[in-house]
């Protein structure tokens, strides 16, 4: 689905990540962990071609991004759901319309989609907030909405950057369960998180690989989690 081979990246003249190889096989579940500032968000951005690697090769769905046109990259991105840390919403639209926006953009609407939207809003605990405007939401509510918006189109790959950073433990487990269910349906999942308790909780439900960024390199985390 997504392949990074010997990838390097740095902002300005610095080298943040180097010799980084990562293969997100179809149906796999990965956690990405590492200290704040180690490059988790940067790595996710490389995975959805928001940043261009300074060395190495990034392939999306079998195609080298270096040879892809803008349109091809846009189409590849439509097959992914991305949960950004600083999720942006259209402030003048009610929450449910924000969550449904990727469907609208893809020209998909109808009874099936409406049913899925209601179900998803309920799952992330936002059914009662459907008419709220984004500025009225708490940080945790925004995060839950961001996850719902990322998965509403039923993407093949979900890349989530700290999707549970602002929510309580019970809701974290609920959001995790949503990701686990999506994985059981065959979706490929990558979750960046510093929450080791969440990773431990996930391990009883899903066979996930845990990767850690340390000193610019990616390592398989040990079983000491």
Tally Cβ neighbours within 10 Å of residue 210: 22
Contact between 16 and ligand ADP per CB under 6 A? yes
Tally Cβ neighbours within 10 Å of residue 128: 9
DSSP string, 22-49: EEE-TT-EEEEE--TTSSHHHHHHHHTT
Contact between 142 and ligand ADP per CB under 6 A? no
**Residue from 28, 33, 38, 59 that binds ligand ADP (CB under 6 A)?**
38
Q: Nearest CA to 145 among 158, 161, 129, 159?
A: 129
Q: How far is the CB of 212 from ligand ADP (least distance, A)?
A: 11
Question: In the beta sheet, which residues pair with residue 57?
Answer: 5
Q: Nearest CA to 134 among 167, 96, 162?
A: 96
CA distance 138 to 213: 30
Contact between 36 and ligand ADP per CB under 6 A? yes
Instruction: Give φ, ψ of 154 to 5 degrees.
Output: 60, 55
Residue 157: helix, strand or coil by DSSP? strand
**Residue from 28, 33, 42, 193 that binds ligand ADP (CB under 6 A)?**
42
Q: Which of 34, 56 has the CB closer to ligand ADP? A: 34
Q: How far is the CB of 128 from ligand ADP (least distance, A)?
A: 32
Residue 218 per-residue DSSP state: E
Contact between 39 and ligand ADP per CB under 6 A? yes
Contact between 212 and ligand ADP per CB under 6 A? no
Q: Which of 45, 149 has the CB closer to ligand ADP? A: 45
CA distance 117 to 187: 18
**Residue from 40, 142, 144, 149 that binds ligand ADP (CB under 6 A)?**
40
Contact between 41 and ligand ADP per CB under 6 A? yes
Contact between 163 and ligand ADP per CB under 6 A? no
User: Is residue 96 within 8 Å of residue 104, measured between CB atoms?
Assistant: no
From 40-48, 126-134, 145-153, 202-210, give the range in contact with ligand ADP by CB under 6 A.
40-48
Contact between 34 and ligand ADP per CB under 6 A? yes
Give the footprint of ligand ADP on this chain (CB under 6 A): 11, 16, 34, 36-42
């Amino acid at each position: 689905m997504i392949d990074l081979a010997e990838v390097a990246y740095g902002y300005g003249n610095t080298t943040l990540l180097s010799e980084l190889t990562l293969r997100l096989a179809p149906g796999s579940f990965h956690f990405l962990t590492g200290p704040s500032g180690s490059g988790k968000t940067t790595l996710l951005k490389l995975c959805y071609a928001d940043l261009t690697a300074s060395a190495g090769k990034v392939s999306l769905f079998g195609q080298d991004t270096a040879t892809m046109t803008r349109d091809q990259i846009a189409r590849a991105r439509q097959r992914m759901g991305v949960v950004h840390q600083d999720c942006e919403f259209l402030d003048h639209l009610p929450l449910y319309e924000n969550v449904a926006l990727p469907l609208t953009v893809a020209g998909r609407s109808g009874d099936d989609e409406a049913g899925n939207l209601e179900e998803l809003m309920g799952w992330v605990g936002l059914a009662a907030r459907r008419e709220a405007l984004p500025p009225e939401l708490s940080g945790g509510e925004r995060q839950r909405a961001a996850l719902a918006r990322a998965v509403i189109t039923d993407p093949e790959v979900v890349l989530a950057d700290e999707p549970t950073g602002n929510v309580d433990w019970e809701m974290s487990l609920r959001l995790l369960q949503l990701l686990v269910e999506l994985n059981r349906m065959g979706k490929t999942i990558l979750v960046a998180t510093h929450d080791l308790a969440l990773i431990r909780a996930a391990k009883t439900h899903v066979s996930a690989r845990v990767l850690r960024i340390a000193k610019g390199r990616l390592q398989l985390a040990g079983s000491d989690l």
